[in-house]
Structure 1
Amino acid sequence: MKILLKKTGVILGCLVVCMASLSGCSEDAPQKENPAVRYMIARPESVLLTTELPGRVSALMVSEVRPQVGGIIQTRLFEEGSDVKAGQVLYQIDPALFQATYNNAKAELSKAQANVVAARLLAERYAKIVDINAVSKQEYDDAVAAYGQAKGSVEAARQALETARINLGYTRITAPVSGRIGRSFVTPGALVTQNQPDPLSTIQQLKHVYVDVTQSSSELLKLRRAFAHGQLQSSGQTAAKVRLVLEDGSPYAKSASVAEGGSEPEWIEGNLEFSDVTIEQSTGVVNVRATFENPEKILLPGMYVRAVIEEGVRENAILVPQKTVTRDTKGRTLVHVLNKSQPAAFVAEAAKTALGESEFYVDTRYVTVDRDFRGQWLLMDGLQDGDRVLVDGLQKARPGQVVSGVVLDAGKASSASEEQNG
């Protein structure tokens, strides 16, 4: 019996020692640390908003060269693809027939002028003797009428001569405008006719060109409302500026600035001229036209480009990295913010008595996203100046939780967004 009591005492003593040991281990265990996150400070800024639209280049002026008289082409007097000036002779039509017509009209004029002299003298002679009844009144009237007809014949012959001269001049087909001429559709020896439907060649002015782009009617209405409500401000007193991105992705800029590389190219900017007054029913788009200088003839008619059009300046805009914006189960966009006060939805939970300088509560804030702006989201509402937006560590934090935050400057936040998008 004594031996049994001794064994029982030993067991109880061991249990007491173990419980004490476990109690000591529990008291010495470290407290769980708050998740570490990084956040940015939302700051409003002015941003220049742009829209990139597809477009096509067209010539400022297009003139089709056509003959105004018929005949055989004798000579072509220009090089295809060269620059020509207004009035420069391009083709020579065989002038023989028109020269003969001109000479005949000239002879008819001389004949009519001779007839008018005889008619005038006769009328003057009858005028002197009609009063003494040497000639009848009817003969005098006939002489006066014949003189008038002779003068009319002179005028008709003069106009016929002018017509013959013009037609003779039309045998020299000249350039109606200055510009760059394309290929010739006829060769010497070809027969051309007056008012033929097919042109002999085409001249296009390329010193300045049009760029026609299309914009959806919904985007146009949105842009106008933004200006009407003061959300956008005009970026200048002059017409809106437009830049171009060429088919290969290079900027439309002065060649010297592009060749240098590294630095910002010297863009050749165009002016937005007008928007069409009619919307295409099948596509729902409206045509917008801009004009560009084309000193190096880089832009050619029919070329596909992307036009970057300045919409205006948005004041007090807030930009956040794209990865900070998420959606809830209802599809609404939101961001996570850090506050010193406990979120209203979690007031029932035990609040921490005092937060450290770098400790914050996690909360959600619903926002409205406008568009992508250089790899960041442009927000229309939902955030204010000074709000702390959670950037990194979102997977470790939940609303209502206390976290330890480290602030990021704007440059680092932007870099983080670019890395995320890349």
Structure 2
Amino acid sequence: MKKTLLATTILATTLLAPITASADIRINGFANFVAGATTNDDESFNNYTGDIDYSNDSLFALQVSSDINSRMTATAQILARGNNDYNAELEWAYITYAGDNDMTYTAGRFRMPLFAYSASLDVGYSYHWLAAPQLVYDVPYRNMDGLKINKAFSGLGFDYNLALSHGNVSGETLGAELTVDQTTLLSLEATNFEWTARAVYGIGDVTLDLNNTDPLLQQLSDFNQAVNAYGFAELGSNILVEDDQGTFVGASLFYDNSKFFAGAEFTVTDLENSFSSKDTAYYFTGGYRFGKWTTSLTYENFESEGDVNYLDDINELAAIDDFSQQLALFAVGVQAGQISETESITATVRYEAARSTALTLESNHVNDKLTDDTATLVRLGVSYVF
């Protein structure tokens, strides 16, 4: 309630600004209204079930920007998500300074430049899907509080954008707060009329707060205390996530000649000195435009290794007594239990219904390759920008 009131107050103040000030206020917005359901009552995927849901992927946003002076611009984005009861929240709030030699400096809260579609991730109208590939883009962090420096330059027939970002990140996973402090991201994008290539590398100090009621996280905390009592402090520390260095690597390549388009994106996420597995995700997509219609097909894959580390310490712990053996089995199970491999195929048909408005029908078939469980999600949505 307080967040909603704050966001509403900010918006009202902004809308009244042209009356009370001479600043050039620009207001843009976008929205996605999506209805979806799985084709079977026993199936569930991405928070959808067999009952039609109208809120999971629906959202409405306003973006307000104003020139402070000839070089500085202030930007704020207020976004209300259907899966959050349309409570308006301040998604972005940053200041941009246009320097010399095609240098740009940004300070505040902005979208983390992790993926090819990060900047327009919520803007369904900006891409050919109804929603960006979930197996790749579903990460517990979206925005960064910090600084970003951009350098634009050209050469060899391409335009380049080199970006260095530094700041702090927060999100939520397993019902617990996840923070990534001292995050540093370096990205390079090269584009010409038909090709776009991008690479990103990032590191940060990751901490997962275990002070909550989630049963699994409580077990991790209890395990840490128990193995410490046996003298295995390092093993206990490894099950916790406290200032552990996380690494993110991504790359993408796209081709688009206005009629035919194809592309791929690949990411790897890893966490050192932790029971957490290395995650690898990628997708391939391609499609064709004819008139107001766009058809596309996308294949996605997500894999978590589930390798068991620290076996020497675990075996030594297991040999002490019956209780320590149970602790050792838990240490193995927590790591091996993370193994997963999921793939999906998405068929999309999009129609440009009106200016800046698209109607999209999408069928997403997902398969858990370890359990052979499958689900088919069908969604219909309208996306627009203004």
Place the TM-score, normalised by the shorter chain, in its bin: under 0.3
Name the TM-score, length of structure 2 as normaliser: 0.19
User: Relative to total residues, which structure has the larger strand share, 1 or 2?
Assistant: 2
When Rg is computed on C-alpha atoms for both structures, the one with the higher figure is 1
User: Relative to total residues, which structure has the larger helix share, 1 or 2?
Assistant: 1
Name the TM-score, length of structure 1 as normaliser: 0.18
